[in-house]
Amino acid sequence: MRIIGTGSALPKKVVENADLERFLDTSDEWIVTRTGIRSRHVISDERLEDLGRDAAQKALADAGLAPGDIDLFICSNVVNEYMTPGLGCIIAAAVGLQCPSMDINCACPGFIYALDIADSYFRAGKVRNVLVVCAEEPTRMTSWQDRATCVLFGDGAGAAVLTEGEGVRSIRISARPDPEKIWQFRPLEPTPFVTKTEVGLPLQMNGREVFRFAVTASIEDIQAVLAKEGLTVGDVDYFLIHQANLRIVEGIRQRLGVPEEKFPCNIQDHGNSSSASCPILLDEYKRKGLFKKGDKLVFSAFGAGLLTAAALVEW
């Protein structure tokens, strides 16, 4: 399969670090030094499905396809306002899709997990065109009294249209199941029968361990997808790394020994938008005209699960 269209959409409200200083014991200096983040887009009066719809429509327009051309829709999302139906069904209705729709909750590597699922459908000959939308609002998961987590996140949606072809050359998805490093608990409705204690908790994260895991796992994944194709790090034109923290991206870049210009970033004014991060990054730099035909792009993402994934794409 190959990528023939991309799109993205961001909430209109921009929150600067200085805005956070007003109600949190934090500073612009701490946030920039530890994360690289200066501002982020956060959901205010929008609904997440509107961002997902906008990103999808832009990607379809970019691909020159109509909603009726799509044979499968995959939506990547961790939380949204609906328990059911899946966010994908809501976006599908807004876009006018008629094809099967499935939702995946694979946290930050969700875009690459979706590519892997789509790849299997193409290889089985079941589809001609697939739409992937990653729509996330992690700012609704954290406590805004917890300075160690809320400063990290931003919201948004990114989309890609895939069709038959040779562009996506190698994908690796993997897991090191460890639900205690990043997790959030949401109690369900009480019933007359439930006797266990259920207390809701905002996002909990062991930042240091996640940091170490992210750098190690990303390098392993990148080397694996390149080795599968007989390539080395030097053959890659651009690395599109999940925008979790500029220091994580820097750690990966330095260990791989790659110059800065091969690592496009947008975390500075986006924060971490979970699975939407990679497709937003792709769309923004594509629209800036960064990628040339034949360029080799490597995606790498890691997050809750712990899940990790990488993909090699020839543009």
Q: How far apart are CA 146 and CA 207, in angstroms?
A: 12
Q: Are 42 and 147 in contact (CB under 8 A)?
A: no
Q: Coil, strand, or helix at residue 237?
A: coil
Using rule CB under 6 A, residue 18 touches ligand ACO? no
Q: Coil, strand, or helix at residue 310?
A: strand
Catalytic, out of 75, 89, 106, 108: 108
User: Which of 112, 133, 134, 182 touches ligand ACO by CB under 6 A?
Assistant: 182
- When the beta carbons of 152 and 256 are compared against ligand ACO, the nearer one is 152
Residues sharing a CB contact under 8 Å with residue 166, sequence separation 6 or more, in sequence order = 2, 314
- When the beta carbons of 25 and 189 are compared against ligand ACO, the nearer one is 25
CB of 213 to ligand ACO, least distance (A): 9
CB of 287 to ligand ACO, least distance (A): 26
Catalytic, out of 17, 80, 129, 272: 272
Which among 153, 141, 144 has a CA at the least distance from the CA of 41? Answer: 153
- Token pair 């892997």 in the structure block, residue: 116
- When the beta carbons of 13 and 140 are compared against ligand ACO, the nearer one is 140
Structure tokens at 299: 């995606």
Using rule CB under 6 A, residue 208 touches ligand ACO? yes
Using rule CB under 6 A, residue 30 touches ligand ACO? yes
- β-partners of residue 185 are 201
Using rule CB under 6 A, residue 245 touches ligand ACO? yes
Position of minimal CB gap to ligand ACO: 207
Residues that are catalytic: 108, 242, 272
